Amino acid sequence: MPFQTHTARLTRSTALSGFTKHFEFEMQGVPRFGFVPGQWLSLKHTKSDGEEITRAYSIASPPDENNRFALCLNRVQDGFMSNFLCDMKEGDEISAQGPFGDFILRPPMRDTIFIATGTGIAPFRSMLHWLVADPSRHEDRQLWLLFGSRTEQDIYYHQEFLRLAEAHENFHYLPTLSRGVGDWQGLRGYVQQHVPGIVAGRTDMHAYICGLDKMIRANRDLLKSLGWDRKSIRYEKYD
């Protein structure tokens, strides 16, 4: 059976950095759009020559009792869809299928490290807002978000995650900069450099990793070399 195609209308877009935007959409014709944190949508656009382009985008907001959802995406050099989407204006519409995917929180809840670079933060923004909204969801487990960016300007949702960490003592927000300059007081270097310090010899946690292939491989290999079972490591690859 073919999947149902929805129409999503862009209601708001905001710049997160020079090449990255946060988008808010409303799914048309439905009172509520249901999904599980971590899932993605398949967006489709037909080019002027008739070629159909579809690309996957993780939902960057937690599910709610309404028809709204958010995306976080960046312009990929010479890429068609990312640039098409980044040029959309408020009120424009796009075809969407989904939600799809099994990059979702797996019970039982354990202490968890979320590792992202760039727009790989999208599913974790959804998962973390959903988790901390209700203590029965996180069961007071320790949650670490290790988020790698180049510079301070590239840390998407920085203030929002700082506020979340202030409000929830079991949520630890650790942005790290590969090209941090001057007075940056936080972590420096690549995400994988900080993983051993966070997991601290433990193998009884869960890890969720999202972003580009090279970063995911580095972190999976590292965790496996630290004795982790591969079933405790889940990942979503964007390229």
Comparing CA positions, the residue from 111, 109, 106, 128 lying closest to residue 203 is 111
Closest approach of ligand FAD to the CB of residue 83, in Å:
6
Q: Establish if 104 lies at the interface with ligand FAD (CB under 6 A).
A: no
For ligand FAD, which residue of 80, 139, 163, 224 counts as binding (CB under 6 A)?
Answer: 80
222 lies in the binding site for ligand FAD (CB under 6 A): no
φ, ψ of residue 109 in degrees (nearest 5): -65, 130
Among 23, 25, 35, 40, binds ligand FAD (CB under 6 A): 40
Please say which residue, 86 or 198, places its beta carbon nearer to ligand FAD. 86
Per-residue interface string for the shown chain with ligand FAD, residues 130-169, x marking contact by CB under 6 A: ----------------------------------------
39 binds ligand FAD (CB under 6 A): no
- Nearest residue (CB) to ligand FAD, 164 versus 216: 216
Chain-centre distance for alpha carbon 67: 19
Query: CA 194, CA 216: separation in Å to the nearest integer?
Result: 14
Q: ∠ CA 231-136-197 to the nearest 5 degrees?
A: 50
Number of residue whose CB is nearest ligand FAD: 79
Buried b (16+ CB within 10 A) or exposed e, 118-155: bbbbbbbbbbbbbbbeeeeebeebebbbbbbbeebebb
Report, in Å, the least distance between residue 81 CB and ligand FAD. 3
Alpha helix locations (H) across 133-235? 135-138, 158-167, 191-199, 213-225
Q: Does 79 bind ligand FAD (CB under 6 A)?
A: yes
Contact range with ligand FAD by CB under 6 A, out of 22-30, 56-64, 179-187, 220-228: 56-64
Piece of 24-32, 53-61, 145-153, 227-235 that binds ligand FAD (CB under 6 A) = 53-61
Cα 84 to Cα 69: distance, rounded to the nearest angstrom: 19
**Binding of ligand FAD by 23 (CB under 6 A):** no
For residue 193, give every residue at least 6 positions away whose Cβ sits within 8 Å of its Cβ, in sequence order, or none.
176
